[in-house]
Chains A and B, each alone.
Chain A
Amino acid sequence: MVPNYTFHRRKILIMFVTCLAGFGILMGRLGYLMLFQSAHYTALAQELHERERSIKAARGRIYDANGTIIADNKTVCTISVIHNQITDAEEVIGVLSEKLEVSADTVREKVEKYSSREIIKSNVDKSVGDAVRACDLDGVKVDEDYKRYYPFGSLASKVLGFTGGDNQGIIGLEVMYEDYLKGENGTILTQTDARGVEIDTAAENRIEPVDGCSLYLSLDVNIQKYAEQAALKVMEQKNAKKVSMIIMNPQNGEIMAMVNVPEFDLNDPFTLNYQMDTSVTDEEYQDLLNKMWRNSCINDTYEPGSTFKIITAAAGLEERVVSLTDNFYCPGYKIVEDRRIHCHKVAGHGAENFLQGAMNSCNPVFIEVGLRLGVTNTYKYFNQFGLLGRTGIDLPGEAGTIMHKQDNMGEVELATVSFGQSFQITPMQLITTASSIINGGTRITPHFGVEVQNSEETVIEKLSYDTTEHIVSEETSETMRYILEQVVAEGTGHKAYLEGYRIGGKTATSEKLPRSENKYISSFIGFAPADNPQVIALITIDEPEGIYYGGTIAAPVVADVFDNILPYLGIEREAVTEEETAEN
């Protein structure tokens, strides 16, 4: 037997000490990893384990002036299957194909596909979703989601706009007030294993969604409906391309109705609102959709024609280059430099004063006023009236005014501008400027949005809009109201006359470019009561067939609308006495 020597013991101790050193190093390494690197690796690991599922926030509702919901949310369901949670595949296939009206083969393919989640059908009505849920099938998930829903269908379609797949606004107010309406999506953070399967026992980290704010509009569904019917009626009668109408409170710029017929169905915005004969490419189809969605009150400009004489008159009166009693003579044309510019009445209006010229809508009278003003003053007033910029309406894509550059404006241009030709503005700009002239001289910002409330119905913001006072004097404003009332009472706008109401207005018939095509835009701008305007309306009829005079076809529509909405707005009919009639 060989004994165990002392040097063996020493060697064993050396080995132990070496082990100790090795363990020491490893403990140091562990300490480094688990204390100093801990945050780093914990974050990386967490990123690996956590899955984020978002909870959609309900989009804010849109209400009209009466508190009627005009844009709402509908709960819809998305039905999906999770392959490895399915216990009875045949039953799942049977139930889903029957309830969702999807072919059994399609369902089978998705049920048998090895994936974490397969969507069978989305945008399913809630009742159907509830029915599927009631079947309590293993591996079938019913997730609720919100979808925008417009209870009035096509009403004010181009104003309200609609939302896309992610519930984001695409056009109209839905885009403009996106930040208020969209809310904040919540999230559920879940822990998953390496296959991505959620772990039931792990605590969910949930961030609740914040629902979007509600938007209250000045738009009134009843007025909008009535205006839409009237517009549709005239469009059909005159076989016009389209008819637009804006009805606004001239005192504060609150828009009560904005019609652009033909409207489209907001609940089905990606389908054209007319039958198409030819097949088109996707790109062309998208162009057609874009065209259908255009709001011509603000997105398109036109030559306003005679309605613009309101502005020329206001500028002339304000600059005192003309007064009501100034005398003019109309031979049926006016020669400016080398051009002979015709009046719409070829025979001429003969001798007339300024008031009569306005009532006759006589071009030479307004050319004369324009020339008296001169380019510099004309431009000064255009600027002062806010005519050259945009109105600042709370709708996206507003077009600007297309006007001659001041430097390029000669006498001929000045003359044509004076009666509303050779430049373009939007109907919105025209009605806004006219409002500002007749309301006592305060330039207002037209708008729909009145206030914003959060989901607890607390007002969080009263929307305010810029105003500019004294763009014309009160005196000029009053004179203008008088002139325009006379236009309706006895002038070209007499077809807008309503018994018992004092209505002011101006007609226009503008020839579209190119002039040779003989296509017209007939329009009428009217307001009531003439002494204290509470409502102003502008109708434009695009390419009417047959008689196309604004005074003949546009003015009666406004009269018809006023006849109905003035009592609705609480503006009482004045008792008509024999005396007054005689006086008129």
Chain B
Amino acid sequence: MSFWDDVFDFSDYGALIALLHNSLIAGALLGLIGGLIGVFVMMRDLSFAVHGISELSFAGASLALLVGVDVVAGSVVGSLAAALIFGLLGVRARERSSIIGVLMPFGLGLGVLFLSLYRGRAANRFGLLTGQIVSVDDPGLVWLSAVSVVVLVALAVMWRPLMFATVDPEIAAARGVPVRALSPIFMVILGLTVAMSVKTIGALLVLALLVTPAAAAMRVTVSMLWVPVLSVVFATVSMVGGILLALGGRLPISPYITTISFAIYLACRVAGRVRARRGWSARPAPPRRDEGRRSVTEGADGTDFVPA
């Protein structure tokens, strides 16, 4: 049996797809909420926080596996705890990074401990870290759908104030946007999304869903409408495409998802470079790009107004 037989094997494909009906719906839902959340993850510079939350989510899920309660519930508890700690303690970026850096290995260590104590099926263990294509059962899909609705409604309600608070916190605060309160609220939404993703794509690779699609979208457009739309499209294509491909092989699902996601990112980088050379919209790409950037970042070390 060759390597490629492990990677792609499309015999009996039709019968398998019918079995994975739920997984495909789950993939599409995750693509939708992951792609939207990813826009704010990028703009608020929370990539590292996402990674930290996913490791603590992994610890929660492993504990749940060990004591025999619902894995998703454990993963949600772990995620929310991490998200709240990061959101409340780490208001400033540097402070937050150090807290994440301290908590993340601890969470991973706890997860490894719980898993090594666990005496059940080995596939369950690896699944938490690297994702698995177990057909999502009906209760699982209900969980995911409910959480997706919560996330979508929350995002719809706070989209504009959150964007304002993210882009220009000082003017937003002066306009009455509750800049500080929005930060922990967003972290909770983010925590829920991470917890949902961990089960499918695995704790180690959540970033491929929550960061890469939005990062790719930002390479090709600056429109406040098209960035979220493209991000959702990229995330959904990665998720659903990854599931469809994984179906025909013996490997875990995550390499497929991460590879598609990364390929889209590369393509967008190339496209973005072409576009930058041609110039954005009516305005030609100026040779003084560096000058413009400098003036934008000037004084970013301020302590007076702290973007929450």
Physical interaction between A and B: no
